[in-house]
Amino acid sequence: MSAASATRDEVFEILDTVKDPEVPVLSVVELGIVRDVSVDAGAVTVTLTPTYSGCPAMRVIEDDITAALVEHGLGPVRIETVYAPAWTTDWLSDEAKRKLEAYGIAPPGRASKETTLVSLTRAPSAAASPRCPYCHSRDTVVKSEFGSTACKSICFCNACSQPFEMFKAL
Amino acid sequence: MNAPFEYLLRLGDDRIILGHRLSEWCGHAPILEEDIALANIALDLIGQASLLLGLAGKIEGQGRDGDALAYLRDAVEFRNALLLELPKGDFAVTIVRQLFFSVFALLQAEALERSSDQELAGIAAKAVKEFRYHVRHSADWVLKLGGGTTESQNRAQRAVDDLWRYTGELFLADDVDRAAAASGFGVDPSTLENAWSETVRDVLARAGLTIPDVSYMQRGGRTGRHTEHLGHLLGEMQILARSHPGASW
């Protein structure tokens, strides 16, 4: 395959093999950070949007994408970054959420548009007691909204006494 | 005067300086979850600063990128509010400052989503989501500290007493702010004060904390007149970039 002959769909297929380094069960396409692809006069341009402003994995992801495309004989590769519309976990497909849970990470609930500035008392909701990815109990608690990476919270399951992570709704 | 450039320096410098202060907790926070939380919040702020200073450099058009603006300016060239450069203090000082700044920054980012500059509007839209988490985190903790032991109440009250006089500067508007707001690029910070005050006073009241009677609000950061603390912070933050120009991973 040469760049001149590659179609947009073919590029997307290749990108679907590039995994998020911090959540290696999801591809960058499933994660929703690939916003656009264009193939023009031999050059491939991939437009990405970051999950979080300071996501340290972005540089690695850019390198992985470039390497995967070059490996398939495509290039030169240009990576562009856009910030609007801002990434949201609502872009994760049901299939992606199922993969997250199977991997041991509770999938995010809906990213609600909050209307009040400070919601000190969060109503009981799926986000406040996520389903344990191991035993599927709802008897869980969010220990901290900040976890091992920017996109995850730390949770604990009272039923199976297992700590687990949840993908934060954003 | 290049108002958009100066305006972006204020936004970017607030975030990089507070982000650096928060990063000082890494490995030192009272519990593991907070160590991780504060490092996460620092990362959000430094990430935002990188985008904002990068945009500032582009608008300035003098060949300076975000790194050059972060690492190769001296204290007098920084435009952050004084509140953000004060030492991290104890956990109560850090948390109370987080409440004061996060509420301000959330209101500011919500307004900047409507900026006439598409890139700034995009950066702001992303930041709104992050600041919502920061506000909830700090407000939760202020309630815990205020409603906790005598020791935690005393420390939280002392933090409010010490920091309150630095909050006025966040809402001071000068020609830079007014020009940026008039062109639709930025937002006049004085328009955010009522909403900020309402929210912060509500949280403090629920935490049983009182607002001190302060007759004078400290100022100077927006025009480069800083406390002695900023120079020490920059010494640590900038030493690698200055000792090894062009160093990369």
Q: State whether B123 and A83 contact (CB < 8 Å).
A: yes
Q: In angstroms, what separates the C-alpha of A42 from chain B's closest C-alpha?
A: 28
A17 DSSP 8-state letter: T
Whole-number average pLDDT of chain B: 96
Closest Cβ opposite residue B33 in set A52, A87, A143: A143
Q: In angstroms, what separates the C-alpha of B37 from chain A's closest C-alpha?
A: 5
Encode pLDDT of B4-36 as tens digits: 999 999 999 999 999 999 999 999 999 999 999
| CB-CB neighbours of B30 under 10 Å | 10
Q: Residue window 69-88, chain A: list those with CB within 8 Å of chain B.
A: 82-88
Cis ω before A76 (30° cut-off from 0): yes
Q: Please give the Cα distance from A7 to A90 (Å, whole number).
A: 27
Nearest one of A143, A167, A138 to A156, comparing CA atoms: A143
> Does B73 score more than 60 pLDDT?
yes
The complex's ipTM?
A: 0.85
> Does A117 score more than 70 pLDDT?
no
Q: State whether A146 and B36 contact (CB < 8 Å).
A: yes
Average pLDDT over residues B183-195: 98
Q: How many residues does chain A have?
A: 170
Closest Cβ opposite residue B122 in set A54, A82, A144: A82
Average pLDDT over residues A137-163: 92
pLDDT-based confidence at residue B207 (cuts at 50, 70, 90): very high
Q: What's the half-sphere exposure (Cβ side, CA atoms, 13 Å) at B33?
A: 14
Task: Taking the CA atoms of B225, B229, B231 and B233 in sequence, report the sign of the dihedral they define.
Answer: negative
Nearest one of B123, B109, B97, B120 to B42, comparing CA atoms: B97
Q: Please give the Cα distance from B154 to B162 (Å, whole number).
A: 12
Average pLDDT over residues B128-151: 95
Average pLDDT over residues A152-161: 94
Determine the residue of chain B that is closest to A114 in CA distance: B132
For residue A29 the two structure tokens come to: 């396409």
Helix, strand or coil for residue A135?
coil
Q: Please give the Cα distance from B201 to A92 (Å, whole number).
A: 38
Q: State whether B137 and A145 contact (CB < 8 Å).
A: yes
The predicted structure's pLDDT at residue B12: 98
φ, ψ of residue A35 in degrees (nearest 5): -90, -25
Residues from chain A that touch B47, judged by Cβ atoms under 8 A, are 50, 52-55
Closest Cβ opposite residue A84 in set B106, B121, B140: B121
Q: Please give the Cα distance from B219 to B166 (Å, whole number).
A: 7
Average pLDDT over residues B180-193: 98
What's the helix, strand, coil split of chain B in %, to 5?
Answer: 70, 0, 30
Q: How many CB pairs under 8 A join A and B?
A: 92
Determine the residue of chain A that is closest to B139 in CA distance: A120
Interface test with B, best of A53, A87, A148, A153 (most B CBs within 10 A): A53
Residues from chain A that touch B199, judged by Cβ atoms under 8 A, are 117-118
Nearest one of B161, B15, B55, B74 to A54, comparing CA atoms: B15
Q: Please give the Cα distance from B99 to B1 (Å, whole number).
A: 32
Q: Please give the Cα distance from B114 to B156 (Å, whole number).
A: 35
Whole-number average pLDDT of chain A: 87
The predicted structure's pLDDT at residue A91: 92
Residue A141 forms contact with B (CB below 8 Å): no
Residues from chain B that touch A50, judged by Cβ atoms under 8 A, are 47, 126
CATH topology of domain B3-243: Ferritin (1.20.1260)
Closest Cβ opposite residue A86 in set B45, B129, B140: B129
pLDDT-based confidence at residue A5 (cuts at 50, 70, 90): low
Low-confidence winner among A46-60, A113-127, B234-248 (lowest mean pLDDT): A113-127
Residues from chain A that touch B133, judged by Cβ atoms under 8 A, are 145-146, 168
Task: Taking the CA atoms of B75, B217, B130 and B187 in sequence, report the sign of the dihedral they define.
Answer: negative
Nearest one of B203, B204, B221 to B166, comparing CA atoms: B221
For residue B140 the two structure tokens come to: 């939760």
Q: Please give the Cα distance from A11 to A39 (Å, whole number).
A: 8
pLDDT-based confidence at residue A6 (cuts at 50, 70, 90): confident
pLDDT-based confidence at residue B67 (cuts at 50, 70, 90): very high
pLDDT-based confidence at residue A123 (cuts at 50, 70, 90): very low
Residues from chain B that touch A53, judged by Cβ atoms under 8 A, are 44, 47-48, 50-51, 123, 126-127, 130
Helix, strand or coil for residue A104?
coil
Domain ranges of chain A: 8-81, 105-114+121-167
Low-confidence winner among A106-115, B186-195, B197-206, B236-245 (lowest mean pLDDT): A106-115
Interface test with B, best of A81, A83, A87 (most B CBs within 10 A): A83
Look up the CATH number of domain A8-81: 3.30.300.130
Helix, strand or coil for residue B89?
coil
Q: State whether B195 and A145 contact (CB < 8 Å).
A: no
